[in-house]
Amino acid sequence: MRRVPALLVPAFALLAGSVSAFAPGTAAAHWSYLGAFAAMVGLAWVRMRTLRGPTRSGYAFIVAALSVWLAGDLLYDTLTWITGGLGEVTPSDLLWIAGYPLLAAGLVRLTQLRAPGRLREGLLDGLVMATVMAWLCWQFIILPAAEDQRLSLQVAVAAFYPFGDVLLFAAIAVLVLVPGTKRGPTPYLVGALALTLVGDIGISTLPELFPSLSRAVQAERLDGVLLLANSLLVAAVVHRDADRIADRITREQRLHPARVVFLGIALLVLPTMAGLHSFEGTLSRVSLVVSVVLMTTLILVRFVFVVREQERIRAVLAHQAEHDQLTGLANRPALRTMLEAALTRPRDDAFGPVLFYLDLNGFKQVNDRYGHAAGDFVLVEFARRLVAEVRPGDVAARLGGDEFVVLAEHVDSEEAAHALAGRLRALAAEPVRRGDEVYEVGVSIGLAAAGRLPQPDADALLAAADVEMYAEKTARLTSA
């Protein structure tokens, strides 16, 4: 089947929804809305048959939400036709309310796929803003509507719709705040959620603002808005890049200014309303306190996560600054720092500390014959053997290429130094094996003791050990 362009779906919804806007309450408006809605849901299910990959589960929740809402509309018409009229609460309300968590679950699933491991921050920020939104709905929509009424099924069901909108608001916040692509179907999803909020809030508040107008007429006027919102959800499903919404952004994203603005507004709303509004009822006061406590808790949790993440990043950067990226050994700057510290510490003997300069023999031949991956494997394996051999308190470092250094402070004689050099030389006696490949390497070692130098410092000790290492390497090549 030929794919329907995504933009064509909201254009079709605008055309069908305009009947509800200009002729509300008529049979033409009703059937135009219902027919268009059914056609779009059918189109979404057809598209679901071609979707593959992990995103399919997220879109399945969205299409299920649309189907549940359509089933609610059809059930309402059927019951009205059978009974001749329904009360304020109907079985359709259960279906209409059930669509909100389904839609939110689909959006969270898609967001989770495109930002694995990054959902937590956006979710916490979304919950902060949703807390404020929930309090506003409670204070200015639910409580006024429930005043002077006893607790009843009608009041309870009516309260579920604003909280369903809060759930969608949280979904919008998470979708926008979590890192990920903002192209393709994402604008359709954000627009759909925003229009759904506008339509639902309008249905809840317009009867209070314009009591002279019929509630049914006002609701049918807003059916066009909800139809357009649903069409944007369908457009996201049928979009040609629907499966790419889960594409991960590898580069680190900076903090978007809108995130700061939205969170700032959320933090200002409750204190501002507490100062400007008089809360006479017990429920109003309790709801304010609960909302403040919940929002403060979420902010503190978010703050703890941020601090821990910063500590982790600093630890990683500090480790990278002092260690060789390939082998994990200390690098040249770290070695110099530790060597200078070792030279300044008081000692009982006049021989150490001792520096061993190691250079691998035959490493270039391994690189040339087997490739750089094999060379890296040899370096990592030799570093592993080096770490296993050095004593507690000794430092193993990689200067670069195939050059390694061992700093040993607790060596008090020439004999002990040469004994340690022999053990280090034996590290290359066993060939390095990688699968079926065997790499033969050796090692040349030069040692320099601080007690044997007239003016021992870090540069002099490194230079002396380097000279000794090259002398041994030259002698080996000459004898060969």
Catalytic residue positions, numbered: 402
Structure tokens at 211: 């009591």
* List of residues 6+ apart from 294 with CB closer than 8 A: 131
Q: Are 399 and 335 in contact (CB under 8 A)?
A: yes
How many other CB atoms are there within 10 angstroms of residue 3's CB atom? 11
End-to-end Cα distance, the chain: 75
User: Which of 227, 183, 167, 202 lies closest to 19 in space, CA to CA?
Assistant: 227
Structure tokens at 412: 């008090």
The CA-based diameter of the chain, rounded to the nearest angstrom, is: 109
Q: In what order do the strands lie in the sheet with 403-408?
A: 395-400, 403-408, 354-361, 442-449
Question: Is residue 50 classed as helix, strand or coil in its secondary structure?
Answer: coil
Rounded distance between C-alpha atoms, residue 132 and residue 170, angstroms: 10
Rounded distance between C-alpha atoms, residue 287 and residue 270, angstroms: 11
Structure tokens at 253: 């994203």
User: Which of 128, 137, 126, 97 lies closest to 287 in space, CA to CA?
Assistant: 137
| Long-range contacts at 195-199 (CB < 8 A, ≥ 24 apart) | 195/225, 195/226, 195/228, 195/229, 195/232, 196/165, 196/168, 196/226, 196/229, 197/165, 197/168, 197/169, 197/172, 198/225, 199/225, 199/226, 199/229
Structure tokens at 147: 């005043």
* List of residues 6+ apart from 191 with CB closer than 8 A: 229, 232
Rounded distance between C-alpha atoms, residue 109 and residue 107, angstroms: 5
How many other CB atoms are there within 10 angstroms of residue 104's CB atom? 23
